[in-house]
Amino acid sequence: MTEADTLIRLAHIGRTFYLGDAQVHALRDINLNIQQGEYIAVMGPSGSGKSTLLNVLGLLDRADAGVYHLAGRDVTTLAADEQARVRSEHVGFIFQSFHLVPRLTAAANIELPLMLAGINPDERAQRVKQVLHDYGLDARAEHRPNELSGGQRQRVAIARATVMQPTLLLADEPTGNLDKVTGEEVVALLEALNGQGVTLIVVTHDQSLGARARRQIKMDDGAIVSDTAASVIVGATRDEST
């Protein structure tokens, strides 16, 4: 593992919310290195700060303290529109409640990030078609979200998150609104993407889903309480050194 492969480097990241007079430390002194292509599950009880961590990683939220390097670039203090560009180019989000725009067809929902990035219509149409085909949604292209099953909706959402070919895929309880079988399918899909080299970070309550990840991070009260990678990576470096 070399320095160049490090996709994410968080150093002493802190995030504090103010609820009235009370201070809530959503993140306390988080130090985390994530390599390109990792598959990570972030777990912990409600309010442990795992969603905040995901938001900070996706540049939707800004840390109060610390430094965040994404793909070798310091993104901690980027202006809002710069952050939007980074999100557009590097980050794909997948939400528990899918967040599809109800009035738009599946194809139009998938097209959104391409449209926002200002890609020309011909290329957009081509890429959307490709992605629809890849996710087995050809027949559903012109359906609106309310005409789709939960699994299909989440597949559309994943298609939308990956159509810009991001390096980082952030999923917040991606199976939370799905039954067990469809949940399995969606996870398989995400894992396949990870197999193609996309860095996958999943926030979940689900122990069995978390267990499938190669690296588990457990959080509590805004801090990382355990990280299986610490040993794995150390092990890996040891392997290389020997």
Partner 1 sequence: MRVPDALRFASYAAIGSPVRTALLVLAMAIGVASVVVLTALGDGARRYVVDEFSAIGTNLVIVLPGRSETRGFNPANLVTSTPRDLTVNDAEALLRLAGVKRVSPLVVATTEIKASGKLRESILIGTNADYIQLRNLKLSLGRFLANTEFGGGSPEVVLGAVIRKELFGTENPIGKSVRIGDRKYRVVGVLAEGGRGLGISSDDVAIVPINSAQAMLNTNTLFRILIEAHSREQINPVKSRVLKTIIARHEGEEDVTVIAQDAVLQTFDKILNVLTLGIAGIAAISLAVAGILVMNVMLVSVTQRTAEIGLLKALGATTRAVQQLFLFEALLLSVAGAVVGVGFGYLGAAFLRYLYPTFPAYPPLWAVLAGLGIALVAGLVFGVMPARNAAKLDAIQALSRK
Interface positions with partner 1 (CB under 8 A): 55, 58, 60-61, 80-81, 84-85, 87-89, 93, 95, 97, 99, 101-104, 108, 112-113, 115-118, 120-121, 160, 164
To partner 1, the closest distance from the beta carbon of 109 in angstroms equals: 10
> Measured between alpha carbons, how far is 158 from 210 in angstroms, rounded to an integer?
19
| Strand stretches in 36-90, DSSP E | 39-43, 65-70, 73-74
Residues 6 or more apart whose Cβ sits within 8 Å of residue 49:
15, 25, 26, 27, 28, 219, 221, 222, 223
Residue number with CB closer to partner 1 (85 or 133):
85
Based on CB atoms, which residue is closest to partner 1, 113 or 210? 113
Q: How far is the CB of 141 from partner 1 (least distance, A)?
A: 16
Give least dist CB 237 to partner 1, A: 35
- Which among 128, 100, 96, 129 is positioned nearest to 114, based on CA atoms? 128
Q: Which is nearer to partner 1, 18 or 241 (CB)?
A: 18
Toward partner 1, which CB reaches closer, 55 or 152? 55
Least distance (Å) from partner 1 to the CB of residue 3? 27
